[in-house]
Chain A
């Protein structure tokens, strides 16, 4: 082997081991979740958790179905609000705003993305909840949760979307513009195809963040274990379930809370797999 090939091989080894480490991390966390939830899973079986029923772990009832619905509906609501807003903001930054203004806006987004979720939750509880309460009590509801979560994931979404629009090669954009297309046309014909994987990635990341959000959701969603029938119904998410009850949970109850985590990971796995099917392969 020539020295350069050898160092190339070594280099690849370093890169590959860092990638393996990153992947291993997930497996470690999953293994941890499985280990902690094993006692109650062995005793009650998986079916006790996913069939409809009540959640009152101290009386031996462990159904997580309602909370799963809660998690999914809050996340869906948040994405429904945040995705168009985020993409449009990114678009505005790139094509309509004067560059100076755009850079200010981006700085603002960066700051917003770093505000602790506690602060968003706090703000939601004292400002948004009373507002929604006036329309329809109790105020802490699916709608409130979706709004505040949307505001939370919006900065990350907009910044990632912006990064992937910026990264579209300028030749393509200029070429399309030279054909006499307007911004809409340029976006559709040149930017969208090139930026799509990145945009999908941004939405996916926002989904993950929304699904996994804990501290804000506890304060604004009402935390009632029920399948929501209207957007004004309070709901409890799987993460809120863990955070609310972990502090006082013992034995099977504690173990059952880890099953909530495992179930959440499972949902995310499904969503991620679906997304990677839909997402076009990187060229």
Chain B
């Protein structure tokens, strides 16, 4: 009877042991770092993690996605050491500490064949409220406007709402999208459409032959440079968050992710490098 019981126990031990080793901390740096959260930030942190692993051979950095809310929730429940959040922290999340690792701007984009070169903020609000339905009302060619909006809860939508002082329930859109790439493909396939996406992504796409164009905002052109200079009005931080950064491993990763040693990785992902002030 006893031996029979033992087998599942040893099995269980084997299941648990690798997890226990996580809790043990030793210097020099070793162990596993679990990072979860925003899919926008994940490709960047994955590359940062790889470089960190190279510098510290005993360390493993596991990056998992699932959205900003998941990053916050996992850090709160201690399921992850670090969370990735593609927005500033909400008022009810102030117990967490945020460490910005990059910036990202948001640009209004149109199809390349649309003759318009700029829209005023009132016109944009009018279009998104559904009061302006035809391009000729804002000085363009005759044709219906297809409004492309982001899904509820996305941080780009929240930023857009805040900037244009418009509520999501007031927006009358014809297409709702999830990720940036989907937005770009949707607009590229529809000459009468208007949308907003991450500047870095849009700049890259426009530079590589995708038929879209970026509209300036308040007369400031939507480029990575202007975001970096702090002039472009519509931008957001990409954050890493933790509950406590007292653990040596997490702290040293956060320092590394904010250091100049990863700037090339940030540029590779078409985000804007964030310099610590």
Contacts and interface: CB of A to CB of B under 8 A. Distances in A.
A133 B153 contact: no
Interface string A236-253: 100000011111111001
Given A140-B175, A247-B66, A129 B189 contact: yes
B269 interface: no
A243 B117 CA distance: 34
Contacts of B38: 247
B67 A130 contact: no
A133 B190 contact: yes
Contacts of B182: 125, 218-219
B178 A58 contact: no
Interface in A124-164: 125-126, 129-130, 133, 137-140
Contact of A137 (B155, B168, B185, B190): B190
Interface string A41-64: 000000000000010111100000
B10 interface: no
B169 A54 contact: yes
Nearest to A139: B190
Contact of A253 (B144, B153, B168, B173): B153
B70 A224 contact: no
Given A246-B67, A248-B154, A223 B189 contact: no
B190 A247 contact: no
B68 interface: yes
Contact of B151 (A140, A244, A254): A244
Contact of A248 (B69, B144, B146, B177): B69
B118 interface: no
B68 A56 contact: no
Given A137-B146, A245-B151, A248-B69, A56 B168 contact: yes
A223 B153 contact: no
Nearest to A225: B176
Contacts of B178: 218, 243-244
Interface residues of B, number: 32
B276 to A, nearest CB: 27
Nearest to B70: A247
Given A126-B189, A247-B69, A138 B175 contact: yes
Contacts of B167: 59
B192 interface: yes
Contacts of B153: 58, 245, 247-249, 253
Interface in B56-78: 66-70, 72-73
Contact of B69 (A125, A219, A223, A254): A254
A55 to B, nearest CB: 8
Interface centre among B153, B167, B177, B185, by most chain A C-beta atoms within 10 angstroms, is: B153
A234 interface: yes
A137 B144 contact: yes
A224 B67 CA distance: 21
Contacts of A253: 153
A66 B152 CA distance: 16
A277 B186 CA distance: 43
A57 B144 CA distance: 29
A253 B152 CA distance: 10
Contact of B189 (A56, A139, A218, A236): A139
A58 B90 CA distance: 14
A244 B68 CA distance: 13
Contacts of A249: 67, 69, 153
B169 A130 contact: no
B189 A130 contact: yes
Contacts of B186: 125, 129, 140
Given A126-B185, A129-B186, A247-B39, A224 B173 contact: yes
Contacts of B190: 129-130, 133, 137-139
B146 to A, nearest CB: 4
A77 interface: no
Given A246-B67, A247-B39, A248-B153, A125 B176 contact: no
A149 B61 CA distance: 38
A164 B189 CA distance: 41
A57 B152 contact: yes
Interface of B: 38-39, 66-70, 72-73, 144, 146, 151-155, 167-169, 173-178, 182, 185-186, 189-190, 192-193
21 contacts: A56-B169, A57-B152, A125-B189, A129-B186, A130-B189, A130-B190, A137-B174, A138-B174, A138-B175, A139-B189, A140-B175, A219-B185, A222-B174, A234-B174, A236-B176, A247-B66, A247-B70, A248-B155, A249-B69, A250-B72, A250-B73
Top 10 nearest A-B pairs (CB, nearest first) are A247-B67, A248-B153, A223-B176, A244-B151, A130-B189, A138-B146, A138-B174, A222-B175, A56-B169, A250-B69
